[in-house]
A and B are shown apart, each in its own frame.
Chain A
């Protein structure tokens, strides 16, 4: 894995230019251009807000801020996963014709989606200012959580992209899995809403198995530290480091396994696609 990372580092110029190609090409021809990177998550937030706040009467104060805070990193995760799974197949003309480490393709996907994530942050900041949620010292943990999410997402992407070259069915089922995963993660609801005390402890245990739960909750603590719901500070706790570090540990193992699987399949890519 270390060797692979070093190889990727050597290709950084290529990665950089492919990421900027992706970014430029995505909104080329549209009037609003880069604005869509901010508008898209905002519009999606409006959809969920409409459903959950107006129709289902979720009573949380500043619900849309909460929603947006979880949605942004989730979109990074889900878009990376869906695009990344397809990245080797979509990059067929490169893999077949040019010699370069194939890992470049998924890494380009995760990086360009990371940039979209960052482009959405100013909107979140605007929300926080408008609804007077002051920043707290948890904000400093932001890069670490991004890193954890990066490692976890990239490991998963490597695994899926390599396998889906041979088993294209993965791509089809992945859409549904990601949708289910979205609702299993506290983004449109918060864990406290679930009244877990009244439910069997097994449920809480299962929920904690979801790495994205820990990551998204981490973001909630980072940005909404001082947000109040009917006068009670909801996320005024320190970051749940224990959970996050367990996630990080598992992600590193996942990444190592995924990379060796990827390297195993790599030589066959140019013949299979």
Chain B
């Protein structure tokens, strides 16, 4: 039988929405009554915010569990309830074993006294004895890499040094249960890695770890199990890889909706513009029909984003995935297809179609057109479409702007849509730059390499991500 070291039984936690200060001071009697009531767990439902609702969680000894979810989903509240810093409004929390919470590093540090003395204070606060701290003192100082400054008052430390000292003490407490709340974002890269290593070390030694983090990559590596919270309720629970997969998909869907509605607005404006242009050219059939943008009042479209004589007009632009669904948020490595519909009102000679992809700051990530790709398109009239497919698009996590253009061979623009559309990529990887280049690592036999992964070696190819188990009934 498994032994649970953390048990939460239908735990609920309510916070007051706003202070009641203005309800005081009406009458002495109300003052006393209200004051007394303040200390009690509030039960009336008005003015209450339920941060956690009927939450159950059982964690066996030696398990590593990640709590994930958007801001305000209740994951930090859950962690503080386990730590005993908050008391549940309803339900019970049971914890067996010595617990150390990396919730706020350096709690109890006093700025005026030295790092040395603060190590003792902090250590005792976290439950060590003076003797234990003395024996671990050098280790702590070396871990924080602060030997040169250990006798300076803590107020002279930089925030990074402060955090390092706090973390160093906290991880040397050697608890049975380690609670981590978003503290991996401190310090420089080398220190973060040192911390992660230490945490993995805890894991190897069979300690129980509960992590709250937005860094899903770390959660996936560290935790065998993940719990996804949403609005204070458990949305889904299971192997961390699957839960994170469905979480990412749900986040992507939300983003998708936002991007899609934005795209739709642009599309509607395009159509509106097209209608008006038709009306205009109908009146003066043989007129030169140029500069329509000067005549058109344009609300949804920033005129600076579109130019050209519209002899060939782009009527519609969509982005679709490998199964033909219209989408605007993709996982890095998915197939992406640009779908463009256009119309030529009169024969205008040979046309060139092109696209460009930019970062928000204007950095040009990629551009190409039919001319560059050595294609010649014969004169045509009426409507048509083209599709441009990027198999396994390697753009890394970011939001990008798209150019769509059709122009004559001599560069005369027919219709140029400059950075009118957006596409976003999401990824579990934390690589930097613009694209994720294909790569693999190898080392000489003298180098021992540990892959920081919960299950097996690092998976470079995340193509399966999009198809990650959707078993959570999202």
Q: Which A residues are within 8 Å of any B CB, using their own CB?
A: 13-14, 17-18, 21, 24-25, 28-29, 93-94, 96-100, 162-163, 166-167, 264-268, 270-272
Interfacial chain A residues near B101, Cβ < 8 Å? 97-99
CB distance from A84 to the nearest CB of B (A): 18
- Contact check, A267 vs B87: say whether CB atoms are below 8 A apart: yes
CB distance from A133 to the nearest CB of B (A): 39
CB distance from B78 to the nearest CB of A (A): 15
Q: Which B residues are within 8 Å of any A CB, using their own CB?
A: 15-16, 24, 35-36, 38-41, 80, 83-87, 101, 103-104, 107-108, 110, 112-113, 117, 120-121, 124-126, 129-130, 153
- Cα–Cα, bound, A150→B248 (Å): 59
- Contact check, A94 vs B107: say whether CB atoms are below 8 A apart: yes
- Contact check, A28 vs B124: say whether CB atoms are below 8 A apart: no
CB distance from A27 to the nearest CB of B (A): 9
**Max chain B C-beta neighbours (<10 A), residue from A18, A97, A167, A265:** A97
Q: Which of A100, A267, A270 contacts B39 (CB 8 A)?
A: A267
- What are 29 sample pairs from A and B whose C-beta atoms fall under 8 A apart? A13-B129, A14-B124, A14-B125, A17-B130, A21-B113, A24-B117, A25-B112, A25-B113, A28-B112, A28-B153, A93-B104, A94-B108, A96-B85, A97-B85, A97-B104, A98-B125, A99-B84, A99-B101, A162-B39, A166-B35, A167-B24, A265-B38, A265-B39, A267-B41, A267-B87, A270-B80, A270-B85, A270-B86, A272-B38
CB distance from A200 to the nearest CB of B (A): 29
- Contact check, B121 vs A17: say whether CB atoms are below 8 A apart: yes
- Contact check, A93 vs B125: say whether CB atoms are below 8 A apart: no
- Contact check, A13 vs B113: say whether CB atoms are below 8 A apart: no
- Contact check, B85 vs A17: say whether CB atoms are below 8 A apart: no
Interfacial chain B residues near A264, Cβ < 8 Å? 36, 39-40
CB distance from A3 to the nearest CB of B (A): 17
Interfacial chain B residues near A93, Cβ < 8 Å? 104, 107-108
Q: Which of B16, B36, B85, B129 contacts A99 (CB 8 A)?
A: B85
- Cα–Cα, bound, A146→B41 (Å): 38
Interfacial chain B residues near A29, Cβ < 8 Å? 112
Known: A14-B124, A93-B104, A264-B40. A271 touches B113 (CB 8 A): no
Interfacial chain A residues near B117, Cβ < 8 Å? 21, 24
Interfacial chain B residues near A13, Cβ < 8 Å? 124, 129-130
- Cα–Cα, bound, A199→B106 (Å): 59
CB distance from A36 to the nearest CB of B (A): 14
Interfacial chain A residues near B24, Cβ < 8 Å? 167
CB distance from B131 to the nearest CB of A (A): 10
- Cα–Cα, bound, A272→B18 (Å): 10
Going nearest first, the 9 A-B pairs with the smallest beta carbon separation are A97-B104, A265-B39, A97-B107, A25-B112, A99-B84, A28-B112, A264-B39, A267-B87, A98-B107
CB distance from B6 to the nearest CB of A (A): 14
Interfacial chain B residues near A18, Cβ < 8 Å? 108, 121
- Cα–Cα, bound, A14→B113 (Å): 16
Closest to B108 in A: A94
Q: Which of B35, B85, B110, B120 contacts A98 (CB 8 A)?
A: B85
Closest to A104 in B: B125
Known: A94-B108, A97-B85, A98-B107. A24 touches B125 (CB 8 A): no
- Contact check, B38 vs A94: say whether CB atoms are below 8 A apart: no
- Cα–Cα, bound, A81→B129 (Å): 30
- Cα–Cα, bound, A264→B125 (Å): 24
**Max chain B C-beta neighbours (<10 A), residue from A14, A21, A93:** A21
- Cα–Cα, bound, A272→B121 (Å): 25
- Contact check, A98 vs B126: say whether CB atoms are below 8 A apart: yes
Closest to A263 in B: B39
- Contact check, A271 vs B39: say whether CB atoms are below 8 A apart: no
- Contact check, B121 vs A21: say whether CB atoms are below 8 A apart: yes
Q: Which of B40, B104, B126, B153 contacts A96 (CB 8 A)?
A: B104
- Contact check, A268 vs B38: say whether CB atoms are below 8 A apart: yes
- Cα–Cα, bound, A41→B81 (Å): 45
- Contact check, B108 vs A271: say whether CB atoms are below 8 A apart: no
- Cα–Cα, bound, A94→B106 (Å): 10
CB distance from B93 to the nearest CB of A (A): 12
- Cα–Cα, bound, A166→B126 (Å): 27
CB distance from B107 to the nearest CB of A (A): 4
Interfacial chain A residues near B41, Cβ < 8 Å? 267
Interfacial chain B residues near A28, Cβ < 8 Å? 112-113, 153
Interfacial chain B residues near A271, Cβ < 8 Å? 15-16, 86
Instruction: Kindly list 15 other residue pairs between chains A and B, CB separation below 8 angstroms, not including A29-B112, A93-B108, A97-B107.
Output: A14-B124, A14-B125, A17-B130, A93-B104, A93-B107, A94-B125, A97-B104, A98-B125, A98-B126, A100-B125, A162-B39, A163-B35, A264-B36, A266-B39, A270-B86
- Cα–Cα, bound, A162→B39 (Å): 10
- Cα–Cα, bound, A6→B103 (Å): 27
CB distance from A13 to the nearest CB of B (A): 5
Interfacial chain B residues near A25, Cβ < 8 Å? 110, 112-113
- Contact check, B113 vs A24: say whether CB atoms are below 8 A apart: yes
- Cα–Cα, bound, A167→B35 (Å): 8
- Cα–Cα, bound, A272→B124 (Å): 25
CB distance from B94 to the nearest CB of A (A): 14
- Cα–Cα, bound, A154→B243 (Å): 52
Interfacial chain A residues near B153, Cβ < 8 Å? 28
Closest to A28 in B: B112
- Cα–Cα, bound, A117→B36 (Å): 35
- Cα–Cα, bound, A44→B333 (Å): 76
Closest to A93 in B: B107
Q: Which of B35, B38, B103, B121 contacts A97 (CB 8 A)?
A: B103
Closest to A13 in B: B124
Interfacial chain A residues near B107, Cβ < 8 Å? 93-94, 97-98
Closest to B80 in A: A270
- Contact check, B39 vs A268: say whether CB atoms are below 8 A apart: yes
- Contact check, B120 vs A17: say whether CB atoms are below 8 A apart: yes
Interfacial chain A residues near B103, Cβ < 8 Å? 97
**Max chain A C-beta neighbours (<10 A), residue from B80, B85, B87, B117:** B85
Interfacial chain B residues near A99, Cβ < 8 Å? 83-85, 101
CB distance from B117 to the nearest CB of A (A): 7
Closest to A163 in B: B35
CB distance from B95 to the nearest CB of A (A): 10
- Cα–Cα, bound, A21→B121 (Å): 8
- Cα–Cα, bound, A162→B84 (Å): 19
CB distance from B122 to the nearest CB of A (A): 9
Interfacial chain B residues near A272, Cβ < 8 Å? 38
- Cα–Cα, bound, A77→B108 (Å): 25
